[in-house]
């Protein structure tokens, strides 16, 4: 690290410091924190889920604890509830922590609880991107994509006109598709197909692609208060559906497939 202003050593102003530990906001800090946290919870008896490294589980004679970590935010569930308190005390033995109680909002996702269900929605996040992309006063539409619409890639053997290149540089298509993708992955399987199609044109988008992406925003405006509901009174049986549209892509003649899985009455993967 370069010597901080005002703390240079006389005659060694061009020398650098060797750090003995990580400092907040450095490039290596996130990695070092993750390693430190992982080593601590492993000593607490937790095991990392092999297919999802941000989920940890501990099974012990006193009960089961599962938590999800996002940087330094932890979302925790246990059976019996007393295991929550045990884990919190273990964390307090290592770091100063804040207990914010039952989760209500995290990473742009609102969480609501009832007796048998948990509902996830992104109303506030959708409002933010409506404002960001100038669609706050747009009229809602009933579907995220026009039925039967076939988006095509432009012919790359034909040089791109300068006005098209300039339009691409000024149009935040990638930013919009990225925002839509987060919504599709988190809580809205109903826009997953449209977003998947739009994401395949990030290097060659034209006005038709932009108009289609904006339409998805208009659809979200009309459905932003809908929630993804997990739980309920149905038995928690795993049920899956899949389908494919044979050779649907006009550019590659490849098939387009889709799937969804539910556990009880709530869809959990799509």
pLDDT at 215: 96
What tens digit of pLDDT does each residue of 170-182 get?
999 999 999 999 9
pLDDT at 231: 87
With a cut of 80, say whether residue 205 has pLDDT above it: yes
- Region of poorest pLDDT, from 144-153, 184-193, 245-254: 245-254
Q: What is the mean pLDDT of residues 243-257?
A: 83
pTM: predicted TM-score of the whole model, two decimal places:
0.81
Task: Provide, rounded to the nearest whole percent, the portion of the chain with pLDDT above 70.
Answer: 100
With a cut of 90, say whether residue 19 has pLDDT above it: no
Q: What is the mean pLDDT of residues 152-169?
A: 88
pLDDT at 240: 94
With a cut of 90, say whether residue 111 has pLDDT above it: yes
What tens digit of pLDDT does each residue of 42-60 get?
999 999 999 999 999 999 9
Q: Where are the domains of the chain?
A: 29-101, 120-234
d(CA 111, CA 73): 15
pLDDT at 72: 84
With a cut of 90, say whether residue 188 has pLDDT above it: yes
pLDDT at 48: 94
């Amino acid at each position: 690290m370069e010597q901080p202003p005002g703390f240079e050593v006389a005659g060694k102003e061009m020398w650098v410091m060797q750090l003995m530990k990580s400092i907040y906001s450095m490039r290596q800090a996130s990695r070092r924190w993750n390693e430190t946290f992982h080593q601590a919870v492993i000593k607490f008896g937790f095991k990392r889920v092999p297919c999802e490294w941000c989920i940890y589980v501990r099974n012990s004679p006193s009960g089961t604890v599962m938590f999800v970590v996002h940087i330094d935010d932890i979302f925790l569930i246990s059976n019996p509830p007393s295991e929550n308190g045990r884990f919190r005390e273990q964390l307090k033995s290592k770091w100063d922590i804040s207990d914010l109680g039952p989760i209500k909002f995290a990473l742009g996702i609102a969480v609501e609880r009832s007796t048998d269900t948990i509902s996830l929605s992104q109303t506030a996040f959708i409002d933010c991107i409506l404002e960001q992309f100038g669609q706050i006063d747009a009229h809602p539409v009933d579907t995220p994509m026009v039925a039967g619409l076939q988006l095509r890639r432009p012919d790359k053997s034909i040089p791109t006109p300068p006005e098209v290149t300039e339009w691409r540089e000024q149009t935040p298509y990638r930013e919009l598709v990225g925002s839509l993708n987060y919504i599709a992955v988190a809580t809205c399987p109903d826009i997953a197909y449209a977003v998947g199609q739009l994401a395949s044109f990030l290097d060659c988008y034209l006005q038709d692609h932009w108009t289609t992406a904006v339409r998805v925003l208009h659809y979200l405006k009309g459905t932003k208060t809908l929630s993804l509901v997990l739980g309920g009174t149905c038995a928690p049986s795993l049920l899956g559906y899949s389908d494919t549209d044979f050779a649907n892509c006009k550019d590659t003649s490849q098939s387009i497939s889709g799937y969804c899985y539910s556990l009880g009455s709530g869809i959990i993967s799509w």
